[in-house]
Structure 1
Amino acid sequence: MTDRAVRNLANLRTSASTARVLNLLRVWDEHGGTDGWKAAPMFRHPALNRALILKHRLRRDEVDRFRVRRHVATKIILPIDRDDLRIGGRYVFVDQIGYDRTMEETFGIGPSHPDRQVLALMDELPGLDPFLLREQLRRNGLAPDPCYFNLTEADLSRMTDFVADEIRPLVDLSLGPDADLAAENPVARLTAKIMSFTPGEDMSALGATLQLDPAEYEEGVFCWKGFLYYKWSLRSVIGDIGGVLDGVRRIRPYGRIEPDQSIAIERAREAVDRRIILTCEAAADMLRVYDEAFVSMTQNGDPSQFRDFLRDAPLLFTRLGERLGAVQHIVSFWRFRTAKGKPRLTAEELLDLLADFEISLSGRERPDVVALAA
Structure 2
Amino acid sequence: MPRTNANISPAGRPRQSPSGRIRCEFRNLAHAGGNGSTSRILNLARIALESTDSKEYREQPFFRHSQMNKSVIVKHTVRANERDLFDRDRRTVTKLILPFDSRDLKLGGSSVFVGQRGYSDFCSQFFSGSDEAIAADKQLLAHLDDIPSLDPFLVREYVARFGYKPAPCYLKIAPDDVANMVEFANDEISKLVRIAFKNEIVDASVRFASRILSHDLDKELDPLKVSLKLSDHEFSDGIFSWRGFLYFKWRHLQLQQDLITVTKGLTEHRSRGFIDPAQADYMSTTRMRMIDKIFAALTDIGKTLAVYDHAYDALIRREDPTFFRQFLLDGPIMFYELGEGMAVLDHISSFWNYRMSGGRSALHLDPQDFADLLADFDESLSSIVNEDAVWTV
| Shorter-chain TM-score above 0.5 | yes
The answer to which of 294-303 and 250-259 deviates more is 250-259
Q: Which amino acid aligns with 2:187?
A: D
> What's the counterpart of residue 156 of structure 1?
178
Q: Where does 1:229-268 land on structure 2 (aligned, <5 Å)?
A: 229-268=247-286
The answer to which of 271-280 and 74-83 deviates more is 74-83
Using the alignment, how far apart are the partners of 1:275 and 1:352 within structure 2?
17
Match of 2:163 among 127, 138, 141: 141
Q: RCO (CA 8 Å, sep 6+): is it higher in 1 or 2?
A: 2
Q: Where does 1:185-224 land on structure 2 (aligned, <5 Å)?
A: 185-198=203-216, 201-224=219-242
The answer to which of 301-310 and 184-193 deviates more is 184-193
Structure 1 ranges of 4+ moved more than 6 A: none
Using the alignment, how far apart are the partners of 2:213 and 2:105 within structure 1?
38
Match of 1:285 among 270, 288, 303: 303
> What's the counterpart of residue 289 of structure 2?
271
The answer to whether the Cα contact below 8 Å between 1:282 and 1:366 also exists between their aligned partners in 2 is no
- Give, in angstroms, the shift of residue 174 of structure 1: 5.6
Q: Where does 1:1-374 land on structure 2 (aligned, <5 Å)?
A: 3-4=22-23, 5-108=25-128, 113-171=135-193, 173=195, 184-198=202-216, 201-341=219-359, 342-343=361-362, 344-366=364-386
TM superposition score normalised by structure 1: 0.91
TM superposition score normalised by structure 2: 0.87
* 1:37-58 Cα distance to aligned partner (Å, 9 max, x none): 1111000100000111111111
Using the alignment, how far apart are the partners of 2:312 and 2:217 within structure 1?
23
Change (3 A) 1:209 1:140: same
The answer to whether the Cα contact below 8 Å between 1:268 and 1:351 also exists between their aligned partners in 2 is no
Q: Which amino acid aligns with 1:203?
A: L
Q: Which amino acid aligns with 1:318?
A: Y
Unaligned residue ranges in structure 2 (runs of 5+): 1-17, 388-393
Q: Which amino acid aligns with 2:272?
A: Y
The answer to whether the Cα contact below 8 Å between 2:93 and 2:145 also exists between their aligned partners in 1 is yes
The answer to whether the Cα contact below 8 Å between 2:218 and 2:236 also exists between their aligned partners in 1 is no
> What's the counterpart of residue 370 of structure 1?
none
Change (3 A) 1:207 1:174: closer
- Give, in angstroms, the shift of residue 102 of structure 1: 0.8
Q: Which amino acid aligns with 2:77?
A: R
* 1:320-348 Cα distance to aligned partner (Å, 9 max, x none): 11001001111111111222335432223
Q: Which amino acid aligns with 2:165?
A: A
Specify the SS of the correspondent of 2:272.
coil
- Give, in angstroms, the shift of residue 173 of structure 1: 4.1
Q: Which amino acid aligns with 1:27?
A: I
* 1:243-282 Cα distance to aligned partner (Å, 9 max, x none): 0000001111111223333222221011100100000111
- Give, in angstroms, the shift of residue 121 of structure 1: 0.8
The answer to whether the Cα contact below 8 Å between 1:231 and 1:287 also exists between their aligned partners in 2 is yes
Q: Which amino acid aligns with 2:366?
A: T
- Give, in angstroms, the shift of residue 172 of structure 1: 5.0
> What's the counterpart of residue 372 of structure 1?
none
The answer to whether the Cα contact below 8 Å between 2:311 and 2:324 also exists between their aligned partners in 1 is yes
- The alignment of Structure 1 onto Structure 2 pairs a total of residues equal to 363
Using the alignment, how far apart are the partners of 2:228 and 2:351 within structure 1?
42
Using the alignment, how far apart are the partners of 2:224 and 2:121 within structure 1?
44
What is the root-mean-square deviation in Å for CA atoms of aligned residues?
2.2
Unaligned residue ranges in structure 1 (runs of 5+): 368-374
% identical equivalent positions: 36
The answer to whether the Cα contact below 8 Å between 2:190 and 2:206 also exists between their aligned partners in 1 is no
Using the alignment, how far apart are the partners of 2:386 and 2:235 within structure 1?
28
- Give, in angstroms, the shift of residue 167 of structure 1: 2.5
The answer to which of 25-34 and 40-49 deviates more is 25-34
